[in-house]
Amino acid sequence: MPPVRVLIVDDSGFFRRRLSEIIARDPRLQVIGMASNGLEAVTQVSLLKPDVISMDIEMPVMDGISAVRKIMAQHPTPILMLSTWSTEGAKSTLEALEAGAVDYLPKRFQDISDDTNIAHQLLCQRLHDLATNSHTNNLPTAKVSSILHAARPPYATANQTTNGPIRLVAIGTSTGGPVALQVILSQLPSDFPYPILLIQHMPAAFTPSFAQRLDTQCKITIKQAINGEKLVPGTAYLAPGGMQMIIKGTKISSIVEIQTGQSDQTYKPSIDLTLESLIPMCPAETLVIILTGMGADGREGCRQLRPLGATIWAQDKQSSTIYGMPMAIAKADLADKILSLNDIAHRLAELR
């Protein structure tokens, strides 16, 4: 296999050289160019046609977000944002994702792992995966606006789409999730009759901003879940980053419990953990949706919930930014339906 061709974009020469060194150590990757601002990046992309781009946000001349927007409009390419994991960083990163960037990693590699080697490997792995797994023609850009006007096939009753009456919706996602969630949630009516649990793999610094951002974009209420609060219909609860969201109580009165994430847990929040907590609640009346993302989180939870009667939808390959988690569901034969992002949005909006 020819190596994945990487374009590095950063205004700091120091950082460009470090990234270049790290990437050069991975035989699967090859640095084919570097740009020191967004405008250079746009030019370089059209000349070099890289397989994947690592992109800084703060740059002179043209910032990373504008560059992502331009690149996605001209030469759609998987872009990995290297961002600051702070509230400010969250805002700009989410904006970059909305502009079409596929994924993000912290610029401070200690935020990935204290072991620099692990951090470097993860960076390389991520670049490699994005280049080989993401669907360039299907990168999330522009879908947000166009989908609203897509033709809506009629769904007569909820019974046609789910295995029975529903009390609770749980959506789990990872890479590509922020935009996918935005697409789905922004179509739900304000009187959506069920509470929604959102489990998005995301660092702690990002989830408050993400919840806030979704809330302004959607008719339903979206908030970061708070320990001890009661689930109410028409509200989506985003699992806080670095934590685990567990549901307790009875099926009439369900309470959120936020637990501190353990260092041995791969995902914080973990879709599996939240789903497993639903077993004693109302498994038969739960709709689980697994959206785009790398890995297989959510599969074990679904494996346990499905025999108890839960309905499970998985996003299809064509509309997934990264067809990993939905594929795991599909391959394990756990999905009741495999749907495009559009279909998921419409069917969910029709649920009554």
Partner 1 sequence: MALDSEDEILQDFLVEADEILESLNEQLVALETQPENSDLLNSIFRGFHTIKGGAGFLSLDAMVALCHKGEDVFNILRQGERTVDAEMMDTFLKVLDILNTMFVETKSGEYPSPADPAILAQLASYLAPTVPVIPEPVVTAPVAATVTPNEATDNDDITDEEFEALLNQLHGDGAPGTVTTSPAPAPIATTKSNDDITEEEFEALLDELQGKKKTVAASQQPIIEASIPTAVLTPEIKALSPKVIISPQTANVDTAAKPAAAAKQAETSVRVDTARLDEIMNMVGELVLVRNRISTLEATFENEEMAKAVNNLAVVTADLQNAVMKTRMQPIKKVFGRFPRVVRDLARSLKKDINLELRGEETDLDKNLVEALADPLVHLVRNAVDHGVEMPDVREKSGKSRQGLIVLAAAQEGDHILLTISDDGAGMDANVLRQKAVEKGMMDEETASRLTDSECFALIFAPGFSMKAEISDISGRGVGMDVVKTSISKLNGVIDIKSEVGIGTTLSIKVPLTLAIMPTLMVMLGDQIFAFPLVSVNEIFHLDLTKTHMVDGQKTIMVRKKTLPLFFLRKWLTSSFNPSGKPEIEHVVIVNVGTQRVGFVVDQLIGQEEVVIKPLGALLQGTKGLAGATITGDGRIALILDFPELMNTYANRGY
Which residues make up the interface to partner 1 (CB under 8 A)?
A: 11-18, 32-36, 39-40, 42-44, 46-49, 58-60, 62-63, 65-66, 70, 74, 84-88, 91, 107-111, 114, 203-205, 208-209, 212, 216-217, 226-227, 242-243, 260-261
The radius of gyration of the chain's CA atoms, rounded to the nearest angstrom, is: 20
Both structure tokens of 345: 């949005």
Q: How far is the CB of 322 from partner 1 (least distance, A)?
A: 24
User: Is 19 in contact with 11 (CB distance < 8 Å)?
Assistant: no
Task: Check whether the bond before 269 is cis (ω within 30° of 0).
Answer: yes
**Distance separating alpha carbons of residues 281 and 331, to the nearest angstrom:** 27
Residue number with CB closer to partner 1 (161 or 224)? 224
Residue number with CB closer to partner 1 (45 or 325)? 45
Both structure tokens of 149: 């006007």
Q: How far is the CB of 262 from partner 1 (least distance, A)?
A: 10
Q: How far is the CB of 50 from partner 1 (least distance, A)?
A: 10
User: Is 341 in contact with 291 (CB distance < 8 Å)?
Assistant: yes
172-183 CB burial, b ≥16 within 10 A, e <16: bbbbbbbbbbbb
**Distance separating alpha carbons of residues 319 and 340, to the nearest angstrom:** 6
Q: Which residues are catalytic?
A: 174, 201, 297
User: Is 77 in contact with 103 (CB distance < 8 Å)?
Assistant: no
* DSSP labels, 64-116: HHHHHHHHHHHS---EEEEE--SHHHHHHHHHHHHHT--EEEESSGGGT-SSH
Residue number with CB closer to partner 1 (147 or 344)? 147
Q: How far is the CB of 13 from partner 1 (least distance, A)?
A: 6
Helices 87-99 + 177-185 axis angle, to 10 = 80
Residue position matching structure tokens 């009165």: 253
Q: How far is the CB of 329 from partner 1 (least distance, A)?
A: 29
According to DSSP, residue 265 is labeled -
Helix (H) and strand (E) counts in the chain: 12, 14
Q: How far is the CB of 69 from partner 1 (least distance, A)?
A: 9
